[in-house]
Amino acid sequence: MAFMPDAALIWFRQDLRLADNPALAAVQDRPVLPVHVLEDGPGAPGGAARWWLHHSLVSLGRALAERGTPLLVLRGDPRRLIPAIAAQVGATEIHAGRQTEPAARQRDAETHDALQRDGRRLVLHRNALLHEPHLVRTGAGKPFSVYTPFSRAVFALLEGLPPPIPAPDRLTPATGGPAGLGPAAFGLLPAPPEPDWAAEFPSHWTPGEAGAAARLAAFLDAGLATYAARRNMPAAEWGTSGLSPHLHLGEISPRQVWHAAQAQGGAGLETFLKEILWREFSHHLLWHRPEMPGQPLRPEFNAFPWRSDPAMLRAWQRGRTGIPIVDAGMRQLWRSGWMHNRVRMIVASFLVKHLLQPWQSGEAWFRDTLVDADLAANAASWQWVAGCGADAAPYFRIFNPVLQGAKFDAEGAFVRRWCPELARLPDRFIHCPHEAPPDIQRAAGVAIGRTYPAPIIDLAEGRARALAAFAAIKGIEAA
């Protein structure tokens, strides 16, 4: 009688792929039950990320079925469901990718304890990062708080990075598991009476492992060579990779991206790899500073004199500030679920500095509206712009959005696409339409205050107010 090895669970989370998945590779020679648990409560994805998750799960389920085993999707508390499913199928091991989010770490610790009491074990693998965040240390043995030395350290650690693991050809299904949810029951897509705010998303994105591979290949072919020169230009085709949502849900691994980019080479390679390492740095910070999503890493900022104003926040959220590069970015976010990175910095600086709105309000809006809403990168980036995070931007760095628009969108192509009511303005007024003479406004079909809003704040006054607010905090000069 042939020996049948114990079944195993592979618990898919932020690693929704078959290739280069160490958790899957560890169990592919055993009967396996692939599981994903839809969680509610702390750590649950925002609206745009839920849309992506739905389509990614459908894609993963199809790929697994082609290899002989279905994907089991359930909704509930994995601390209860995972041990129960493991018992049903007789699995002694549950394999999953390690996560850095505080709620996920707490959940995994409690799931580990529940499994251990039943004689089973949870085995965590490095699926989402190039290096374990708790293993990257300074020469003094401490976590890094500054990006540049962190990136140097990780570059050194990545010498000889092993190649990606191929996807399995076939999988043996475990038997005895419960019935799962079908895609229609996931509850992740907008549904009546809610408006279909994701209607345009499919024209911008193809979620899933195959979509991630196609995106990477297209970027390497069309964008990597010019990445350093064009990455700050929001209207440039392939100025950025567009891989962030695929990386967030693990439809492609950073190791796959790293190796493929190095194999391609080109003038933009080093700059691109440094962006991959910024993502690693963000997760390093979150691992060691779990309070980062809600609390400033620099404690003196607890006394910052924010001026919470729901009307100003709403104007910013809806792209109705009267500052074209800001409005174009916020409309791009609402309609596509994504925003160009340079524009993210501009709109964030405008919110927290010119408008003095709490950075947490911006972080929460991005978390709900970005398809790539990565908790670590989102929080780290907002704190960087606000000046209250690790290796933060100096307090006196206050982007002038008009000058930023003129520099990085000189002909106004980005603004014209997302703010079409301004499309007929001459280039010299596209980033400051309120300064256009009345006859030029009329010729362009623009009426400030009617067809397009007047600026909600004078930029010079906003800058002066921000500098005064920073000056009121003791120790801020050390930024």
What are the φ and ψ backbone dihedral angles of 382, each rounded to 5 degrees?
Answer: -65, -40
Structure token digits, residue 420: 């079409």
As annotated, the active-site residues are: 275, 278, 306, 341, 359, 382
| Alpha-carbon distances of 370 from 135, 235, 341, 352, 414, rounded to whole Å | 30, 19, 12, 19, 19
Task: Single out the residue of 235, 259, 236, 88 nearest to residue 164, CA to CA.
Answer: 259
Cα separation, 414 vs 325, in Å, equals: 8
The number of CA neighbours under 13 Å toward the Cβ of 372 is 20
C-alpha torsion 77→82→88→94, nearest 10: 170
- Yes or no: say if 275 and 257 are a contact pair by the CB < 8 Å rule: no
Structure token digits, residue 221: 């072919």
CB count within 10 Å of CB 62 equals: 13
Q: Exposed (0-12), middle (13-18) or buried (19+): which is 2, by Cβ within 10 Å?
A: exposed
Q: Which helix (H) or strand (E) element contains residue 121?
A: strand 121-125
What are the φ and ψ backbone dihedral angles of 293, each rounded to 5 degrees?
Answer: -65, -25
What are the φ and ψ backbone dihedral angles of 86, each rounded to 5 degrees?
Answer: -60, -40
Is residue 266 left, alpha or beta, with left meaning phi > 0 and alpha meaning psi from -120 to 50? left
* Secondary structure (DSSP) of 314-334: HHHHTT-SS-HHHHHHHHHHH
Q: Which residues contact 409 (CB under 8 A, 6 or more apart)?
A: 233, 234, 235, 325, 415, 431
Amino acid type, 17: R
- Yes or no: say if 142 and 56 are a contact pair by the CB < 8 Å rule: no
Q: Which residues contact 35 (CB under 8 A, 6 or more apart)?
A: 9, 10, 11, 12, 71, 72, 73, 74, 82, 85, 177
Structure token digits, residue 326: 């800001």
Amino acid type, 302: N
